[in-house]
């Protein structure tokens, strides 16, 4: 492994990593500061390093029981969600509050903004819970500065011994946004801190304050404290690892597709940590070797299986070692870069359950796993994670093959024919001709294809990158604009009972909700700003209210909002003049509005052009 190859594979220069590590530990010497920053030129590139100090106060680690998690602030981190499922990420609340406090009460915003404008490469870094703040700072910078109108260098995040920060959506979102490579996490094999968040706070609360002091690089325990320290570290290590075993075992069963009802029963009685790894992990195995892992499911398994004991006699030694491991990253990195023995964990679906001694790439991985002390069971878990990743890719390949079936050419031709006469929506709603029946058949075929896609997304059975794929976002938008009006027409054609409710509330399928969220997220526009495919659903409801003798003043605000949206969509080319055909449902409804309103309406000119 050459240095150039290593740099190319992880996207970071050796000097950048070393400087980040040095500054991460330097920040601990200035805990009174919100952060420490340094400007340095590396290989002709100007860099700004920003490091956040850790904290040895347990209130800065857990804000509440059982795990201290809360929903992410989507105003600050709009990308940290599952777009289609509309599910916000969970984040450690104490870490989030600490970052927000720094953001609001320091010069961080100004310094980052100036560095971005000057074209500097920003590197956020930190050790221990300072690393957690660095992670959130990186997400903030990515959200704040990487919009389509700017051309700044993407910030990087390099952490050392970081605790876990958020749930599975962190991994899902970073892959979708193509941000995973911006986060590099170094973890020593026996460091307990990256595993702490897998245990509920109640299980470690009595020990945690003392353990944090042992983890504090400034603490100097007395010799009289050594016996008590040994007992506490053993108890703490055992508690954390028991909970880690529960979490990883449950995850492994899911990876292997277990349908045992006991799994569901366990989650009903046992609180499982929501925290999960994300980004690129580099495990330092203590022998100068670095093992690079990009699969978050594999990382979770390694957090448990790399710390297993051969027998209980090792417990005291390992428990004390995990405290020391957390404090000596600089020494470990120095050894690793001298040897530069790097192994990349990939093709894990082919991983043998034991080292067969061959010279293939898989054999190299297998040997590295031997160095981490991985058992046959551990290898099975890693292989299952590799198989799941491959299964998601296979699902995507199957979906890609259905693009031809998803062709909307027939419906586009049907729409063009209808708009010469009555209009697309109204012709389909009446259903008088054979071509209307054929269009309905095609509508149902397309609905089936897209429903299959959406169900896979709902269960996270497609690659996380899928919802960020510009081709699928474009195809989904075209599908929604073309087919949803037919669904709306079909709904109101069959609507018999007024109690059934509005289409938007009672009947809108996920296939349209998901694809609308995709394009809104891709274009970074507000929720609902791309609802042009639902114009006629709004019209049908407004007309229904008018027919029920509701005063115009009661619906005036809704009418004006709809008209403004229509004008905006028309000017952007997202709807055409065919919406305003003389005998269309839209125009017939609009003609029922009060004369004084129509005279000042923002779309009066558009209707008059027909």
Return the axis-axis angle of helices 510-522 and 470-494, rounded to nearest 10°: 140
Tell me which of 133 and 373 has the higher pLDDT. Answer: 133
Rounded to 5 degrees, what angle do the CA atoms 226, 227, 228 make?
Answer: 95
What band does 266 get if pLDDT is binned at 50, 70 and 90?
A: low
CA pair distance 334, 21, nearest whole angstrom:
10
CA pair distance 227, 32, nearest whole angstrom:
32
Long-range contacts of 559-568 (CB under 8 A, 24+ apart): 559/593, 559/597, 562/535, 562/538, 563/601, 563/602, 563/603, 564/602, 565/531, 565/532, 565/535, 566/535, 566/603, 566/606, 567/602, 567/603, 567/606
According to the model, what pLDDT value does residue 59 have?
92
**Alpha-helical regions (H) of 63-179:** 93-105, 108-117, 129-145, 168-176
According to the model, what pLDDT value does residue 294 have?
94
Please write the tens of the pLDDT for every residue from 504-540. Answer: 988 999 999 999 999 999 999 999 999 999 999 999 9
Token readout for 585 is: 């449902």
Lowest model confidence (mean pLDDT) among 5-14, 177-186, 535-544: 5-14
CA pair distance 388, 257, nearest whole angstrom:
9
According to the model, what pLDDT value does residue 259 have?
54
Q: Specify burial of residue 8 (Cβ count, 10 A radius: 0-12, 13-18, 19+).
A: exposed
Tell me which of 215 and 391 has the higher pLDDT. Answer: 391
The residues that are catalytic are: 128, 191, 326
Q: Is the pLDDT of residue 568 over 90?
A: yes
According to the model, what pLDDT value does residue 228 have?
75
Please write the tens of the pLDDT for every residue from 469-479. Answer: 999 999 999 99
Tell me which of 152 and 242 has the higher pLDDT. Answer: 242
Please write the tens of the pLDDT for every residue from 96-115. Answer: 999 999 999 999 999 999 99
pLDDT over 70, % of the chain: 90
Q: Specify burial of residue 64 (Cβ count, 10 A radius: 0-12, 13-18, 19+).
A: exposed
Which range has the top average pLDDT, 9-18, 228-237, 271-280?
A: 271-280
Strands 183-188, 156-160: pairing is parallel
Q: Is the pLDDT of residue 165 over 70?
A: yes
According to the model, what pLDDT value does residue 531 have?
93
The answer to whether 276 and 168 have CB atoms below 8 angstroms apart is yes
Give the contacts of 550 (CB within 8 A, at least 6 positions apart): none
Token readout for 524 is: 């970074």
Give the contacts of 17 (CB within 8 A, at least 6 positions apart): 158, 184, 186, 333, 337
According to the model, what pLDDT value does residue 310 have?
65
pLDDT over 90, % of the chain: 56
Q: Is the pLDDT of residue 499 over 70?
A: no
**Could you give the domains of the chain?**
6-346 (3.40.50), 402-608 (no CATH)
Q: Is the pLDDT of residue 163 over 80?
A: yes
Measured in degrees and rounded to the nearest 5, phi and psi for residue 160 equal -135, 115
What band does 148 get if pLDDT is binned at 50, 70 and 90?
A: low
- What is the rounded end-to-end Cα distance, in angstroms, of the chain? 70
Ramachandran quadrant class, 288 (left: phi over 0; alpha: psi -120 to 50; beta: rest): left
DSSP assignments along 176-190, one per residue = HTT-GGGEEEEEETT
According to the model, what pLDDT value does residue 258 have?
63
Between the CA of residue 265 and those of 270, 271, 547, what are the distances in Å?
9, 11, 52
According to the model, what pLDDT value does residue 222 have?
55
Lowest model confidence (mean pLDDT) among 5-19, 232-246, 394-408, 506-520: 5-19
According to the model, what pLDDT value does residue 167 have?
97
Token readout for 300 is: 């979770």
Lowest model confidence (mean pLDDT) among 48-62, 255-269, 378-392, 421-435: 255-269
Lowest model confidence (mean pLDDT) among 3-12, 42-51, 286-295: 3-12
Q: Is the pLDDT of residue 299 over 70?
A: yes
According to the model, what pLDDT value does residue 170 have?
98
Mean pLDDT within 410-420: 86
Between the CA of residue 480 and those of 11, 74, 487, what are the distances in Å?
39, 26, 10
């Amino acid at each position: 492994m050459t240095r150039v190859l290593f740099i190319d594979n992880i996207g970071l220069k050796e000097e950048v990593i070393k400087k980040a590590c040095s500054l991460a530990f330097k920040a601990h010497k200035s805990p009174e500061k919100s952060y420490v920053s340094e400007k340095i030129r590396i290989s002709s590139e100007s860099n700004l390093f920003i490091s956040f100090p850790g904290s040895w106060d347990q209130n800065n680690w857990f804000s509440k029981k059982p795990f201290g998690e809360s929903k992410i602030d989507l105003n600050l981190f709009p990308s940290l969600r599952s777009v289609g499922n509309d599910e916000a990420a969970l984040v450690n609340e104490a870490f989030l509050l600490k970052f927000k406090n720094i953001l609001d009460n320091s010069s961080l915003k100004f310094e980052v903004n100036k560095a971005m404008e000057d074209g500097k490469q920003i590197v956020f870094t930190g050790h221990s819970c300072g690393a957690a703040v660095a992670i959130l700072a990186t997400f903030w910078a990515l959200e704040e500065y990487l919009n389509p109108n700017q051309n700044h260098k993407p910030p990087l995040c390099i952490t050392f011994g970081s605790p876990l920060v958020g749930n599975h959506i962190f991994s899902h979102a970073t892959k979708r946004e193509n941000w995973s490579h911006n986060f590099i996490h170094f973890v020593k094999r026996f460091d307990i801190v990256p595993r702490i968040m897998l245990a509920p706070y109640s299980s470690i609360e009595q020990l945690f304050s003392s353990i944090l002091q042992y983890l504090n690089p400034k603490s100097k325990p007395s010799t009289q404290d050594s016996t008590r320290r040994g007992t506490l570290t053993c108890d703490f290590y055992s508690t954390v690892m028991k909970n880690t075993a529960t979490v990883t075992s449950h995850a492994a069963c899911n990876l292997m597709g277990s349908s045992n009802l006991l799994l569901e029963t366990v989650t009903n009685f046992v609180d499982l940590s929501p925290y999960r790894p994300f980004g690129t992990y580099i495990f330092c195995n203590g022998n100068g070797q670095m093992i690079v892992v990009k699969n978050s499911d594999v990382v979770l398994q390694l957090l448990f299986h790399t710390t297993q004991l051969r027998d209980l006699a090792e417990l005291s030694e390992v428990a004390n070692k995990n405290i020391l491991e957390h404090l000596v990253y600089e020494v470990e990195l120095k050894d690793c870069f001298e040897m530069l023995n790097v192994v990349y964990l990939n093709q894990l679906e082919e991983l043998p359950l034991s080292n067969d001694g061959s010279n293939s790439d898989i054999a190299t991985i297998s040997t590295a796993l031997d160095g981490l002390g991985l058992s046959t069971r551990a290898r099975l878990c890693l292989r299952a994670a590799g198989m799941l990743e491959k299964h998601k890719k296979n699902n995507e390949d199957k979906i890609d093959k259905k693009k031809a079936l998803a062709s909307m050419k027939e419906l586009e031709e049907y729409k063009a024919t209808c708009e010469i006469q009555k209009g697309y929506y109204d012709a389909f709603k009446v259903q008088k001709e054979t071509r209307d029946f054929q269009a309905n058949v095609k509508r149902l075929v397309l609905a089936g294809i897209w429903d299959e896609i959406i169900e896979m997304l709902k269960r996270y059975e497609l690659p996380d990158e899928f919802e960020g794929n510009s081709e699928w976002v474009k195809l989904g938008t075209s599908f929604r604009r073309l087919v949803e009006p037919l669904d709306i027409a079909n709904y109101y054609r069959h609507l018999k009972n007024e109690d059934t409710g509005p289409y938007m509330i009672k009947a809108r399928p996920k296939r349209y909700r998901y694809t609308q969220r995709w394009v809104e997220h891709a274009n970074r526009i507000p929720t609902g700003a791309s609802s042009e495919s639902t114009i006629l659903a709004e019209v049908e409801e407004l007309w229904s209210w008018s027919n029920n003798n509701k005063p115009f003043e009661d619906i005036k605000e809704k009418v004006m909002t709809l008209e403004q949206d229509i004008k905006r969509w028309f000017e952007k080319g997202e709807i055409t003049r065919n919406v305003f055909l003389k005998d269309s449902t839209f125009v017939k409804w609009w003609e029922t509005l009060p004369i004084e309103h129509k005279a000042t309406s923002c779309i009066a000119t558009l209707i008059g052009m027909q």
